Amino acid sequence: MKNFSIKQALWYGIQTTTHHLPFLLGASIITISILTILGISIGLATTLGIPMGLISAYLFTSPLACELISEITSSGQNVSVCYSTILDFFSTRWLLFAFVFLVIFLITYYLSICWLNSLLYLHDHKKRSYKAFFAHPRLLPTFTISSFLYIIVVSLGMITLIVPGIIVAIMFIMFGYVIVDKKAGIIESFYKSERITHGAKWRLFLMGIIMIGIAIPIQLFINRIVPMFSKTPILFFALLAIGALLHLLFSFVTINANTYIYRILDTQTNNAVNQK
């Protein structure tokens, strides 16, 4: 029967966050900066792309376009004109929007890989490394496809019944760590995650409930308490900064605690295999 101490996991998360706070803040600044730049990019793509796409869609479905298509099928005339209209529809800034969105999507997943690798490095080597942060880009296809599959499987479980969805979510929750840590493939990452979490699902569920219980007051403070002081700008921004800092520190503690749990359960799994 696998087990881990929730108290020790939280204490590890607090200690690691305290000892490596400058590094964690630096990594967060890098992450936020990249996502901000990408957010501005997709905002520009949306602003420029959607109107052009709508205009082209209108032209393509307009009576004139339909008439041109009709003439193509009946007499073969005006082929070049209609082709130009269709080409205009598919070559607008909608393609730019789709491309930028795809880039943002992939970079977001790559940043997830970077964070997991850094957290494992902190746990194993007890020191920080920005070099370890930007690592393993070749894992991106595997990580992306596995993340999609995880979302689909958990969603199907939630649609059928809530309980199966929660069980599946906990069963495969370690797939990302497995991919980054063991360079596992898609199926292998889910298989090893199931083995790692086997016998510890109730403990993991309890850990999740505790973390949610801690997160709720922080969110209530940010969403409910802070807006009450909106008419006092100085106090409002001071409280908002405190709320943001609490949220950030809580996030650091959570991800470090999860890394600790992964290592504990993975070690117990390996020991059980070696004893057989």
> What pLDDT score does 92 carry?
52
> What pLDDT score does 56 carry?
42
37 band by pLDDT with thresholds 50, 70 and 90 = confident
Position of tokens 């999860």?
258
pTM: 0.79
Q: For the chain, what is the domain count? A: 1
218-257: pLDDT as tens digits: 999 988 999 888 888 899 999 999 999 999 999 999 999 9
* 168 within a domain of the structure (yes/no): yes
* 1 within a domain of the structure (yes/no): no
Pair of tokens at residue 29: 């600044």
128 band by pLDDT with thresholds 50, 70 and 90 = confident
135-187: pLDDT as tens digits: 788 999 999 999 999 999 888 888 877 778 888 999 999 999 999 999 999 99
How buried is residue 136: exposed, middle or buried, by Cβ count under 10 Å (0-12/13-18/19+)? middle
Q: Is pLDDT at 78 greater than 60 in this prediction?
A: no
> What pLDDT score does 156 carry?
86
Q: Is pLDDT at 109 greater than 80 in this prediction?
A: yes
Distance CA 193, CA 125 (A): 23
Distance CA 209, CA 214 (A): 9
* 166 within a domain of the structure (yes/no): yes
* 94 within a domain of the structure (yes/no): yes
Residue 67 identity: E
* 11 within a domain of the structure (yes/no): yes
How buried is residue 22: exposed, middle or buried, by Cβ count under 10 Å (0-12/13-18/19+)? exposed
* 127 within a domain of the structure (yes/no): yes
* 233 within a domain of the structure (yes/no): yes
* 186 within a domain of the structure (yes/no): yes
* Cα separations in angstroms, 239 against 29, 97, 229, 242, 247: 21, 37, 9, 5, 12
Structural domain harbouring 155: 6-275
